[in-house]
């Protein structure tokens, strides 16, 4: 592979800037939505607007990067939770975190379904990363007799996403409560 065909690594300071922007955007999107002013994000990150646009020329690029990072964090948490907790507890904690991911991103669903090509790869990436992780957690919990065996990871991913739709006058705590009810319904049938 030639040097020109391999992606260049970012300098450490540039990577810190990207990380700060992604973390700030994540927090701003959760409170103000994905259409929040760029200045709100850069102020929180302690960087200038030019730095934001240098790394993320379009708003969709930033939204996609934030979501991909959040998907990676949650997918990577699955095996860690599975090793640290009993299978049923690991599954419930992962579902709680997934609910936070889906329920706390105001305006994200609208952005993802906007037709912007920046989002084209995200649904596939999401399923590629999340489905095997959740399948492993479900299998472990089913093997331990803690959940029913007839629920697929895909079913559960979609069910949680549907239960995380915004409800007027309610916040993320409401979505978390709905997911707890769903998780209780995963108990094996007598």
Maximum CA extent, the chain:
62
- Amino acid 115: pLDDT: 77
What whole-number distance in Å separates Cα of residue 182 and Cα of residue 159?
A: 8
Give the mean pLDDT per block of 10 residues along the chain (190 residues). Answer: 51 88 91 88 95 93 91 96 97 93 67 77 90 98 94 93 84 87 84
Sign of CA dihedral 189, 136, 178, 108: negative
Cβ(52)–Cβ(42) under 8 Å?
yes
Cβ(66)–Cβ(31) under 8 Å?
no
- Amino acid 161: pLDDT: 86
Tell me the CA distances in angstroms from 40 to 23, 49, 50, 80, 143, one per residue in order. Answer: 12, 9, 13, 33, 47
Cβ(163)–Cβ(178) under 8 Å?
yes
**Distance of alpha carbon 29 from its chain centroid, rounded?**
12
Output the CA angle 159-25-99, nearest 5 degrees. Answer: 20
* Helical spans, DSSP H, in the chain: 12-32, 38-45, 49-55, 59-84, 87-103, 108-112, 122-143, 153-163, 172-184
Please tell me the total number of residues recorded for the chain in this structure: 190
Neighbours of 31 (CB within 10 A): 10
Full set of structural domains in the chain with CATH: 1-57 (1.10.10.60), 59-184 (1.10.357.10)
Tell me if residue 152 falls in helix, strand or coil: coil
């Amino acid at each position: 592979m030639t040097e020109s065909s391999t992606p260049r690594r970012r300098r450490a300071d540039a990577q810190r800037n990207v990380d700060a922007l992604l973390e700030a955007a994540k927090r701003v999107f959760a409170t103000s939505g994905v259409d929040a002013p760029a200045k709100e994000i850069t102020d929180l990150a302690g960087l200038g607007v030019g730095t934001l646009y240098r790394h993320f020329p379009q708003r969709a690029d930033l939204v996609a990067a934030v979501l991909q990072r959040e998907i990676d964090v949650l997918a990577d948490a699955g095996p860690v939770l599975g090793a640290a907790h009993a299978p049923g507890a690991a599954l419930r904690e992962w579902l709680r975190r997934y609910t936070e991911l889906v329920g706390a991103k105001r305006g994200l669903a609208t952005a993802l379904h906007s037709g912007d090509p920046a989002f084209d790869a995200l649904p596939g990436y999401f399923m590629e990363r999340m489905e095997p992780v959740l399948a492993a957690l479900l299998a472990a919990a089913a093997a331990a007799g803690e959940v029913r065996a007839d629920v697929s990871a895909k079913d559960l991913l979609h069910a949680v996403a549907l239960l995380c739709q915004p409800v007027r006058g309610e916040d993320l705590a409401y979505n978390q409560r709905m997911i707890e009810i769903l998780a209780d319904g995963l108990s094996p049938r007598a």
